[in-house]
Structure 1
Amino acid sequence: MRLRALLDTDALGLKLLGGEDELDRSVRGVMTTDLRDPSRYLSGGELVLSGLAWRRDAADSEPFVRILVQAGVAALAAGEAELGSVPEDLVVACARHRLPLFAVHESVAFATITEHVVRQVSGERAGDLAAVVDRHRRMMTSGPAGGGPDVVLDLLGSDLDLRAWVLSPTGRPVAGPKDAGPALPAEVCGKLAAEHLAATRAGRRAPHRVPLGGTTYSLFPVRGSGHPPATGAAGRAPQAAGPGRDVRETVLSDWLLVVEADAGDWAEERLDLLYGVTQLIAVERDRRDAARTVRRRLAQEVLELVQTGAAPAEIAARLRVAAPVLLPGLGAAPHWQVVVARVEWEDDEAETGPVAQTLLEEILVDPLATGPEHSDRIAVAHTGGEAVALVPLPAVSTEHDGSEAGVLADALLESVREPLSAGLDGDGRVTLGVSAAVHSAEGLRGALEEARHARRVAAARAGRVCAAGHQELASHVLLLPFVPDDVRRAFTARLLDPLRDYDRRHRAELIPTLEAFLDSDGSWTRCATRLHLHVNTLRYRVGRIEQLTGRDLSRLEDKLDFFLALRMS
């Protein structure tokens, strides 16, 4: 801001005592001091506020003013509260060194002046940065030279001292500033994504402010052009998905901009700037979506061949065509895994395949991967309400110790359960199924059916976000998804409700004991060791289980019934 603007605000109580010809100087900040020599704390361009406690006699004014001028300050504002008026010797010294001098009325606090100047300076810097953001947007729109959202996040840090990150709906970091301190911890990212999805489903107006670990974060939604909202005042996007649009169409796919600051009392200019940044990031989101078009089409072609029973040789030929796109730089023919996902909403007949497709592409991105984005090696198609991913594995499907490599259902579930559950908000479900790895086109049809059946096993479980892998398709589990819900509930209640009621009244832990006993294959010693119990205590608990249920845990049939009831509960 200019010095001249300080005189336009009556509430500041400033009176110009000298330096009329210097009022076009720029003010970069404010410093309050009563030190005789404050030079070590000055960097130039400040409005210096002083109560004159440094002045003992008239001889002190000249050296004080000389120090300020040498430091390059913009002006001096002297308070009248201490001496009743600004001493003439100070007026003369400032005139000699051409330093603008203001008198501050005793009724005005220095904090009032500081707050006003900082707010104005921040607004000016935000306006300058907004122009930079606009230029960057045009560069990204017209060609590949923009540099991505990281550049704008760096500008937010350097010009407005704002640390900011872009997160996916599952909490995966998409972009962040360089050299801005430690990255956001994964746990924080997941919680912020969950808060964003929950606020979006609840229809709360952005930015969403989230206190977390002593820090307040402000969350701004990033919406791509595939689902553009109308703009509100000052170009700001409204918070709803738009007239006639259902927020569930995009809630599981929108990115979010996280700013490490409380935007609750921000000026309109700064809020508008941040919404401009979200529009710029949306351009990058659209660019990445466009880059996936070829991979999606290849996956769709392969899926259609597999589903229609095409010859393995024809499928293999199509995979060879797809390999340069799906496996850039890897060369060798991979093994393949199939992952199936479905998004379902209660009382909703709309097709959810495209939503599941976008979400599955996001879920399968490895958050620890470096170099080219991991999703560049994933092709996701959709058919009806189902998304199907072909995941190439350049390595063998099992390690030397027999452990499973590639995509694991439990790992997928762990990374996305918390945020997605918040976005589903009680009326939606996401279910995932993962096949074993296959090493040829002949195995893809079986892998697809295996992944689909694993997803049905996941759907038979309780919870908003569920996943199952091929390891869980044992013979007894294969039957569970096809048992009617009311039959499953009745069977489970008949066996387990007496134990739950007893645990609730006596805190006897009969259910955990039953689970451990079955997991230990009925071994008293192993089970007692696992539960840190004496064997006699374990025998008492098992006896109580048998008494309450009328079953005998030495009989294979009763063990199997309990096992199935626990799996279905």
Structure 2
Amino acid sequence: MRLRALLDTDALGLRLLGGEDELDRSVRGVMTTDLRDPSRYLSGGELVLTGLAWRRDASDSEPFVRILAGAGVAGLAAGEAELGDVPDDLVEACLQHRLPLFAVNEIVAFATITEHVVRQVSGERAGDLAAVVDRHRRLMTSGPTGGGPEVVLDLLTSDLDLRAWVLSPTGRQIAGAGEPLAGHVAAALAGQHLAATRTGRRGPHRAEAGGTTYSLFPIRNNGRGTVPAAPRDVRESVLSDWLLAVEADASDWPAARLDLLQGVTQLIAVERDRRDAARAVRRRLAQEVLELVQTGAAPSEIAARLRVAAPVLLPGLGTAPHWQVVVARVEWSGEDADLPGGQVAQALLEEILVDPAVTGPDSADRIAVAHTGDEAIALVPLPAVSPASAPGGPSDVEGAERPEGASPAGTARDTGARERRDTALHADSLLATVRDPLSAGLADDGRLTLGVSAAVHSAEGLRGALEEARHARRVAAARPGRVCAAGHHELASHVLLLPFVPDDVRRAFTARLLDPLRDYDRRHRAELIETLEAFLDCDGSWTRCAARLHLHVNTLRYRVGRIEQLTGRDLSRLEDKLDFFLALRMS
């Protein structure tokens, strides 16, 4: 702003005492001081406010003004509350050094002048920054350069002293300037944003978290990503839109600054569209695999498609991974219960499957989610176990002799199964950090239910995993709450093999339990299925079973250990024995 503008505001109560020819000077800030030498605190362009406490006699004025002029201040405003009229010696010193001088009426507080100048100056800076943002937008929309949202957030911090973060609907930090937000603060802000959006109120929304005030600006999807640009109902986009969290109260911001932040959100939306477009390949892969599985395609055809998908989802992977299937459904109640939920569930499931400890927009690159109808289905690759512990690896020599009583159950079986368990998804942990914010977005008329399958190691097991995940989701849907999930471990029971359970679910469970053994027998001619049947028929007696199969007891122990390793079960447990018994009878 210019010094001249100060005289145009009657509320400031300023009178010009000298320096009329210098009123076009730019004001960059305000400083209040009564120090005799404030030069160390001046950087140039300030309007200096003083109560004249530094003045003891007329000889003090000229040195004080000389210091201000040397520091390049824009002007001096002297208060009349302490001495009455501004002394003539100060007026003469300002004229000598060509420093504009104002008198401040005693009824006007310095704080009023400071607030007015800061607001005007920040508005000017916002205008300058808006030009930078617009230039950055053109760069991002015209080519691959631009630097991403972090560049603009850094500009907000450096030019307007605003700390800001881009958050997902679950509170995951996508971008930020400076220190990241604490996890619980980000989740709280996401929840408040979703709740405010569901009420239909326009942003920005004021929020409190961790004793700090924030303003939350929606980042609307532009329509080239997952959710339509102009949904007919806020519920179609509330669970997929990002938000910009700014550490400030925007309720009294000037229009220029609000417009600037809206421009920033539009810029970030452009970047989001770019990232969503990059996910198209992974979504298409998931859709193709899903269609093959659901239409009953040959396992070899599904396996070929999985071999194409694995390098895309897990770059650098040398062998085919294990796979898990996650099924999600978003359902609405009330008059508009027919709102489409498949695309919303797809976007939401992509976000839920991101590791919460990982930040950045590209952290979902290894997730492939398709949707069909109101259902979203994720194909999740898991790194394969190490060769030393994998079936068929160096330790996998059929018939190897082991000391009496020894079992590989504590070695190879534990290592391979434990590695798979460590990398596998678990229903409860998926929702641990996102349940609260998503519940706020679902409000009183929405539900999200998830089902998670066990890991499968081949194309043959993928259909079973899909049915298992779907059945787990139905189990979750029977529970109370807005956000619920169930995993395969809640289905891994002989109860699933009883007649009243749907055929698809029973077949899926049987296949998941026995297919690894059949595959192993086919590759190694190991007769694990025959060994399992004999072991159960002999009630778990090592001696009787070994005699029946004409094997050494050590060889029998090794085979049983291999069965346990491949299935993750323990044949010393009654529940696991019963599962195997019923599965064999129904296969």
Q: 1:160 to 1:19 in 2, by over 3 A?
A: same
Greater displacement, 403-412 / 296-305: 403-412
TM-score of the superposition, structure 1-length normalised? 0.78
Greater displacement, 162-171 / 181-190: 181-190
Note the 1:246-395 alignment, pairs <5 A: 246-347=233-334, 348-369=337-358, 373-395=362-384
CA distance in 2, matches of 1:412, 1:379: 16
What CA deviation, in whole Å up to 9, does each residue of 1:222-264 have, x standing for no partner?
A: 1011199xxxxxxxxxxxx998811110011011110111112
8 Å CA contact 2:224–2:276 kept in 1: the answer is no
SS of residue in 2 equivalent to 1:323? helix
Does residue 88 of structure 2 align to residue 88 of structure 1? Answer: yes
What CA deviation, in whole Å up to 9, does each residue of 1:475-509 have, x standing for no partner?
A: 376499x89xxxxxxxxxxxxxxxxxxxxxxxxxx
SS of residue in 2 equivalent to 1:217? strand
CA distance in 2, matches of 1:221, 1:372: 17
* Equivalent residue, structure 1, for 2:65: 65
CA distance in 1, matches of 2:331, 2:457: 32
8 Å CA contact 2:231–2:237 kept in 1: the answer is no
Q: 1:477 to 1:168 in 2, by over 3 A?
A: farther
8 Å CA contact 2:224–2:277 kept in 1: the answer is no
SS of residue in 2 equivalent to 1:258? strand
Does residue 460 of structure 2 align to residue 460 of structure 1? Answer: no
* Equivalent residue, structure 2, for 1:111: 111
* Equivalent residue, structure 1, for 2:209: 212
What CA deviation, in whole Å up to 9, does each residue of 1:343-397 have, x standing for no partner?
A: 1111412331111111111111112237883321111111111111111112439
- Tell me by how many angstroms 1:287 deviates: 0.9
Q: 1:435 aligns with which of 447, 450, 453?
A: 453
Equivalent position amino acid for 2:138 in 1: R
SS of residue in 2 equivalent to 1:392? strand
RMSD in angstroms over aligned alpha carbons? 2.2
What CA deviation, in whole Å up to 9, does each residue of 1:391-424 have, x standing for no partner?
A: 1112439554885432111111212211111111
Greater displacement, 138-147 / 203-212: 203-212
SS of residue in 2 equivalent to 1:124? helix
SS of residue in 1 equivalent to 2:186? helix
CA distance in 2, matches of 1:316, 1:429: 34
Greater displacement, 151-160 / 64-73: 64-73
SS of residue in 1 equivalent to 2:451? strand
Q: 1:398 to 1:465 in 2, by over 3 A?
A: farther
Equivalent position amino acid for 2:27 in 1: V
CA distance in 1, matches of 2:229, 2:175: 27
CA distance in 1, matches of 2:375, 2:36: 74
Q: 1:59 to 1:477 in 2, by over 3 A?
A: farther
CA distance in 2, matches of 1:56, 1:117: 29
Does residue 27 of structure 2 align to residue 30 of structure 1? Answer: no
Greater displacement, 2-11 / 166-175: 2-11
- Tell me by how many angstroms 1:40 deviates: 2.3
Equivalent position amino acid for 1:456 in 2: R
Q: 1:351 to 1:80 in 2, by over 3 A?
A: closer
Note the 1:191-202 alignment, pairs <5 A: 191-202=188-199
8 Å CA contact 1:340–1:451 kept in 2: the answer is yes
Does residue 423 of structure 2 align to residue 405 of structure 1? Answer: yes
CA distance in 2, matches of 1:206, 1:371: 24
CA distance in 2, matches of 1:280, 1:201: 24
SS of residue in 1 equivalent to 2:328? strand
- Tell me by how many angstroms 1:83 deviates: 2.4
- Tell me by how many angstroms 1:341 deviates: 0.6
Equivalent position amino acid for 2:354 in 1: V
Q: 1:204 to 1:477 in 2, by over 3 A?
A: farther
Moved over 6 A (4+): 241-244
Unaligned 5+ segments in structure 2 are 386-414, 502-587
CA distance in 1, matches of 2:262, 2:495: 49
Equivalent position amino acid for 2:457 in 1: H
CA distance in 2, matches of 1:5, 1:65: 22
* Equivalent residue, structure 2, for 1:562: none
Note the 1:13-28 alignment, pairs <5 A: 13-28=13-28
CA distance in 2, matches of 1:242, 1:377: 25
Number of residues of Structure 1 aligned to a counterpart in Structure 2:
467
CA distance in 2, matches of 1:401, 1:244: 43
SS of residue in 1 equivalent to 2:271? helix
8 Å CA contact 1:457–1:477 kept in 2: the answer is no
What CA deviation, in whole Å up to 9, does each residue of 1:59-94 have, x standing for no partner?
A: 001111111122221111112232222222112211
* Equivalent residue, structure 2, for 1:74: 74
